[in-house]
């Protein structure tokens, strides 16, 4: 095997999502050029979401809530049924049709399951593995998790609308799109944030809380107040990082600047999605990280976001994350410096940063240093056998078991990139079970397992693994051995 063969294997596994049949041969013609050809200004590919936008999903959620409210009211108004001495007790399996748990589960299935499947199918079928991995990195960087019923239908559109169109554009544009999307505002509770000296807060203090701003859907709303979640996560996780030089006062000031950003509701006739409510915005100038912002209204938060995007701390923090994701848990300082230089000289042009990553010699070290996350492992397994998941059931069960539920990151920090959280003995056993299941389904169709191993791993296939696959007692076992090999597990 030549160095070009090894570089081809690195290109499709470390930069991409694993080799599909024939992909190594294509990449071998020029691995770096093959990767750079996947960079495009229009962004990453979009996955199927039944053609629905975030605004449509928001409207569906409002309808769902109205139906829930009507069902509760009907239940409250209905006369109590006469007692039946021999009637069986109601069990979990015999909940009424209006049960809120069942209703919530049905809403999630109808809105989120198809998005998760569409995303998986795109990853397993794409011929642009680097472009898709790059998009997945940014989606994890700007994590929105489906931890609320309303968000179950918004996470997919969020990624398609706010992340994927901007992943090869300016970071400032990506930042602005992500932070002002309805999904992010709901996830980090920004939609309920109200300036303490705003007109809305003053109205409530004067006794106006029984109507207007004090009610929501006819029910009393909790006391209006400032919420710092979005401001804190933008500083800590999305831009300058926890060591970026900001203080708690900067978080509070930024949170005040963000007030007014909210989601359109039933009273906003003819308006959809994100709105700016001047009556809830904290008036006055703000000072964040030593810079004073006199802009009024929505422009104030926009100016702060633009400045954060341009800060050198942001370049250092995000470029370190890129290097960690693609190359090593402990990224080479020289690689981080290369990416940071490209970021600063191009003013945050992410296409240029992607090219710098491809050109960096540190990114082509022969020894694989990254353990695949469960999502990467499942996707690359399907790619290896040249298939895509036709339904979400089995794949979803596997990802849940491996600890990486689709659209279900445990916190705004997103899924970890380091090996330790994914390398526990129990997790490896579950990977083996998945490999055996996939081998049982697709293994009988594999005519030559040793050829499949060579097409999947290329120059990274070791003689020991090749021999073990050749000596397997069956084709399903051979496929499972390939998927559990150290060469396949690492990238």
* Residue pair 371/422 in contact by the 8 Å Cβ criterion: yes
**Domain co-membership, 206 together with 179:** no
Would residue 20 count as lying in a domain? no
Would residue 415 count as lying in a domain? yes
pLDDT-derived band at 86 (thresholds 50, 70, 90) equals: low
Instruction: Select from 130, 149, 183 the last residue of a domain.
Output: 183
Would residue 333 count as lying in a domain? no
- At residue 343, the pLDDT reads 98
Instruction: Select from 289, 310, 331 the last residue of a domain.
Output: 310
**Domain co-membership, 70 together with 126:** yes
**Domain co-membership, 166 together with 64:** yes
- How many other CB atoms are there within 10 angstroms of residue 368's CB atom? 19
Task: Show Cβ contacts of residue 369 under 8 Å, excluding neighbours closer than 6 positions.
Answer: 327, 328, 329, 490
- pTM for the model stands at 0.91
pLDDT-derived band at 271 (thresholds 50, 70, 90) equals: confident
- DSSP annotation of 235: I
State which residues form the domain around 412. Answer: 374-489
pLDDT-above-90 percentage for the chain: 79
Rounded to an integer, what distance in angstroms lies between the CA atom of residue 78 and that of residue 65?
20
**Domain co-membership, 253 together with 157:** no
- At residue 209, the pLDDT reads 54
Please check the confidence at residue 83 and state whether its pLDDT lies above 70.
Answer: no
**Which has more confidence, 109 or 419?**
419
**Domain co-membership, 411 together with 470:** yes
Would residue 49 count as lying in a domain? no
Would residue 21 count as lying in a domain? no
The CA-based angle 386-390-393, given to 5 degrees, is 125
Cα dihedral 167, 172, 174, 180 in deg (nearest 10): 180
Would residue 227 count as lying in a domain? yes
Residue 134's alpha-carbon distances to 165, 273, 411, in angstroms, are 12, 27, 21
**Domain co-membership, 407 together with 474:** yes
**Which has more confidence, 10 or 86?**
10
- At residue 217, the pLDDT reads 42
Rounded to an integer, what distance in angstroms lies between the CA atom of residue 361 and that of residue 32?
11
> Mean pLDDT for the chain?
91
Please check the confidence at residue 214 and state whether its pLDDT lies above 70.
Answer: no
Would residue 161 count as lying in a domain? yes
**Domain co-membership, 159 together with 206:** no
* Residue pair 45/168 in contact by the 8 Å Cβ criterion: no
The residues facing 262 across adjacent strands are 275
**Which has more confidence, 298 or 80?**
298
- At residue 139, the pLDDT reads 98
- At residue 82, the pLDDT reads 58
- At residue 96, the pLDDT reads 44
**Domain co-membership, 232 together with 155:** no
The CA-based angle 10-407-256, given to 5 degrees, is 110
Q: Tell me the per-residue pLDDT of 15-48, one tens digit each, with 9 for 90 and over.
A: 999 999 999 999 999 999 999 999 999 999 999 9
**Domain co-membership, 395 together with 465:** yes
Instruction: Select from 287, 310, 333 the last residue of a domain.
Output: 310
Number of structural domains in the chain? 3
- At residue 81, the pLDDT reads 59
Please check the confidence at residue 287 and state whether its pLDDT lies above 60.
Answer: yes
Q: Tell me the per-residue pLDDT of 357-416, one tens digit each, with 9 for 90 and over.
A: 999 999 999 999 999 999 999 999 999 999 999 998 889 999 999 999 999 999 999 999
**Domain co-membership, 135 together with 167:** yes
Task: Show Cβ contacts of residue 37 under 8 Å, excluding neighbours closer than 6 positions.
Answer: none
**Domain co-membership, 120 together with 206:** no
**Domain co-membership, 214 together with 129:** no
- At residue 218, the pLDDT reads 39
Please check the confidence at residue 106 and state whether its pLDDT lies above 70.
Answer: yes
Please check the confidence at residue 311 and state whether its pLDDT lies above 90.
Answer: yes
Q: Tell me the per-residue pLDDT of 426-478, one tens digit each, with 9 for 90 and over.
A: 999 999 999 999 999 999 999 999 999 999 999 999 999 999 999 999 999 99
End-to-end Cα distance, the chain: 18
- At residue 73, the pLDDT reads 67
């Amino acid at each position: 095997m030549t160095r070009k063969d090894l570089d081809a294997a690195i290109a499709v596994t470390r930069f991409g999502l694993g080799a599909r049949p024939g992909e190594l041969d294509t990449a071998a013609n020029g691995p770096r050029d093959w990767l750079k050809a996947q960079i495009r200004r229009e962004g990453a590919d979009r996955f199927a979401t039944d053609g629905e936008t975030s605004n449509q999903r928001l409207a569906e959620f409002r309808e769902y809530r109205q139906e829930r409210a009507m069902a509760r009211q009907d239940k409250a108004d209905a006369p109590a049924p006469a007692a039946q001495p021999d009637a069986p007790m109601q069990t979990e399996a015999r909940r009424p049709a209006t049960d809120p748990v069942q209703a919530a589960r049905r809403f999630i299935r109808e809105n989120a399951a198809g998005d998760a499947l569409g995303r998986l199918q795109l990853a397993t079928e794409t011929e642009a593995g680097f472009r898709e991995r790059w998009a997945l990195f940014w989606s994890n960087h700007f994590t929105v998790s489906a931890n609320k019923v309303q968000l179950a239908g918004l996470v997919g559109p969020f990624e398609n609308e706010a992340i994927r169109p901007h992943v090869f554009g300016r970071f400032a544009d990506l930042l602005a799109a992500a932070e002002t999307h309805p999904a992010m505002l709901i996830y980090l509770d920004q939609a309920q944030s109200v300036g303490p000296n705003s007109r809305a807060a003053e109205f409530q203090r004067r006794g106006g809380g029984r109507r207007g701003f004090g009610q929501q859907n006819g029910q009393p709303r909790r006391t209006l107040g400032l919420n710092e979640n979005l401001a804190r996560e933008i500083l800590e996780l999305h831009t300058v990082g926890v060591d970026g030089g900001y203080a708690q006062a900067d978080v509070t000031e930024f949170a005040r600047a963000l007030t007014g950003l909210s989601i359109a509701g039933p009273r906003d006739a003819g308006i959809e999605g994100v709105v700016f409510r001047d009556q809830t915005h904290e008036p006055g100038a703000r000072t964040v990280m030593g810079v004073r912002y006199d802009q009024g209204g929505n422009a104030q938060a926009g100016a702060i976001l633009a400045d954060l995007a341009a800060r050198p701390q942001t370049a250092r923090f995000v470029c370190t994350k890129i290097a960690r994701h693609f190359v090593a848990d402990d990224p080479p300082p020289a690689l981080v410096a290369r990416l940071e230089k490209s970021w600063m000289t191009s003013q945050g042009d992410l296409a240029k940063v992607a090219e710098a990553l491809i050109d960096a010699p540190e990114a082509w070290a022969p020894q694989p240093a990254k353990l695949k996350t469960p999502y990467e492992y499942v996707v690359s397994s399907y790619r290896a056998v040249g298939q895509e998941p036709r339904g979400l059931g089995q794949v979803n069960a596997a990802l849940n078991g491996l600890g990486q539920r689709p659209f279900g990151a445990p916190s705004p920090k997103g899924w970890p990139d380091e090996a330790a959280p994914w390398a526990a003995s129990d997790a490896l056993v579950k990977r083996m079970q998945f490999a055996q299941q996939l081998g049982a389904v697709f293994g009988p169709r594999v005519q030559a397992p040793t050829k499949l191993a060579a097409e999947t791993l290329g120059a990274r296939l070791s003689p020991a693994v090749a021999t073990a696959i050749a000596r397997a007692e069956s084709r399903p076992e051979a496929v499972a051995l390939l998927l559990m090999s150290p060469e396949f597990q690492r990238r």
